[in-house]
Amino acid sequence: MTRVHRTDAPMADGRTLRYYDESPGRVPPPDTRDLPVVEHGSVMRFDVLTGEWVTIAAHRMNRTFMPPADLCPLCPTKPGHEASEIPSDHYDVVVFDNRFPSFGEGSAPVPPEVDADPLWPQRPATGTAEVVCFTSDHTAAFSALPVERVRTVIEAWADRIAELSARPGVEQVFAFENRGVEIGVSLQHPHGQVFGYPYVTPRTAQLLNRAGSHRQRTGRDLFDDVLASERKAGTRVVVDGERWTAFVPAAARWPVEAHLVPHRPVPDLAALDEDERAELAVVYRDLLGRVERYFGPGSEDPPYIAAWHQAPVHTGRDLTRLHLQLFSLRRAPGKLKYLAGSESGMAAWLNDASPERIAERLREAGP
C-alpha cells in the first residue's frame, strides 16, 4: 500500500478507526466521546428447510437512522458536531468497526440448539462488520469522486480484505455499497461496508457448485467461458477494457444490472495487481456513472447495490473469481422493481427488461 498511508486510532468505546490518506503525516486526534463498550447479541440459527444460516441481530433495531446532514455520524468532526464517529476535521477514506454490527467478536455464548431441539442448531454470530466512508463530502456520489480517490477506496478495500481473511473464523469477505433510501440505507453519507462472514454465503455456495460441475463436465473454468462468450457476442458488453469487461448478463434478473469481471482469474480485491487496480478505478467509476444516467435527465440518483463477489477464504478459490454485480431496483423513473410473490416466495425471477436493451441503454449513457 505504498501510495496510501494508513493510520490507526482507538475510538472511545474500544473500536478501531483506520485512516487511509493520500498524503503522509496524519496525526489522529483523540476520540473524547463518552461511549459504552459495544455489545451485540447476534445469533445464527440454521434453517433446516433450506440448509442456510439466518442471522438474528435484534440490537440493530436501535441503530442510528437517517439523521439530518448536520448530525451525520460519518461527516468530519467540527464545532457544534462532536458526535461524529470520525474525530478529525478532515479525511480521505476511513474504515471503522460498526457500532451496530450484524457480526462481531466477543459474542456471548448461546445454547447449541433452539429450545434444546437438535432440529434447530444455533451459534453466536461471530465475524466482522466494518463501515467504509468513501469521502468526507456528505453530498458526493461515488461516481463523482476523482479517480485518485477511487484508487484510495480500492486500496482500503484490498487492505481490509487481506486482514479480515486472515482472522480466525472468517470464511468469506464481502465488500458492498448500498445507495438510496429505496435500498434501505440508514445513513445517506457515501459509504459502504465490509462483512467477514463465519460461513460461506448461499449465493457463493451455489456458484461454487455450478463452477465445480462445469469444470467436471468440460474441464474448463466457468468464468473464463462466460467472459469469452459475452465478449464474442458483444451485444451485452458495456465496457471492454484491457483488463476488465463490463457486461449485462444474458439472464439478468434486475431491470438494470451489469457485471464487471477481471480478465485474469483473481480470487479477491486484495489479489489485484497494480495495473488491474488502476484500470478498475476508471472502469468502475465509469460504470456507476452510466447507471446513474440510465433513465435520463431528472433521474440521475437511482438506488443501487454494488456487490463485490469474492472467493471464500478457505475453499473453492480456484473455482470462482472476483466480480462485481451492480444493479438497481428502479425499473422506470418513479417506479421500482418489487420482489413480489414469484421472486420472494419461490425465488423464481421475472424481469421486465431485455438484457440486450439494458446493455444498449448503458452504452448510450456513457460519458
pLDDT in tens, the chain (367 residues): 568 999 999 999 999 999 999 999 999 999 999 998 887 778 999 999 999 999 998 777 677 777 888 889 999 998 877 789 999 999 999 999 999 888 988 667 899 999 999 999 999 999 999 999 999 999 999 999 999 999 999 999 999 999 999 999 999 999 999 999 888 888 999 999 999 999 999 999 999 999 999 999 999 999 999 999 999 999 999 999 999 999 999 999 999 999 999 999 999 999 999 999 999 999 999 999 999 999 988 777 899 999 999 999 999 999 999 999 999 999 999 899 999 999 999 999 999 999 999 999 999 999 8
Which contacts qualify for 145-153: CB closer than 8 Å, 24 or more apart?
145/285, 147/281, 147/282, 147/285, 148/22, 149/22, 149/92, 149/93, 150/281, 150/282, 150/284, 150/285, 151/3, 151/277, 151/278, 151/281, 152/4, 152/20, 152/22, 152/92, 152/93, 153/93
Sign, Cα dihedral of 106, 112, 113, 115: negative
Q: What is the pLDDT of residue 80?
A: 78
Q: Residue 300 corresponds to which amino acid?
A: E
Quote the pLDDT of residue 301.
Answer: 85
Q: Which domains are seen in the chain, by residue range?
A: 5-199 (3.30.428.10), 216-364 (3.30.428.10)
Q: Is 59 labelled as part of a ligand binding site?
A: no
CB atoms within 10 A of CB 22: 15
Query: 0.85 exceeded by the pTM?
Result: yes
75 is in an annotated binding site: yes
Residue 244 sits at φ, ψ, to 5 deg, of: -140, 145
CA 149, CA 133: separation in Å to the nearest integer? 11
Residue 262 to residues 102, 139, 282, Cα–Cα distance (Å): 30, 30, 13
Q: Would the annotation count 214 as a binding residue? A: no
Q: Annotation-wise, does 133 bind a ligand?
A: no
Tell me how far apart the alpha carbons of residues 37 and 51 are, in angstroms, rounded to a whole number. 34
Q: Which active-site residues does the annotation give?
A: 191
Cell of 57: 441481530
169: left (phi over 0), alpha (psi -120 to 50) or beta: left
Report the pLDDT value the prediction gives residue 61, as an integer from 0 to 100: 67
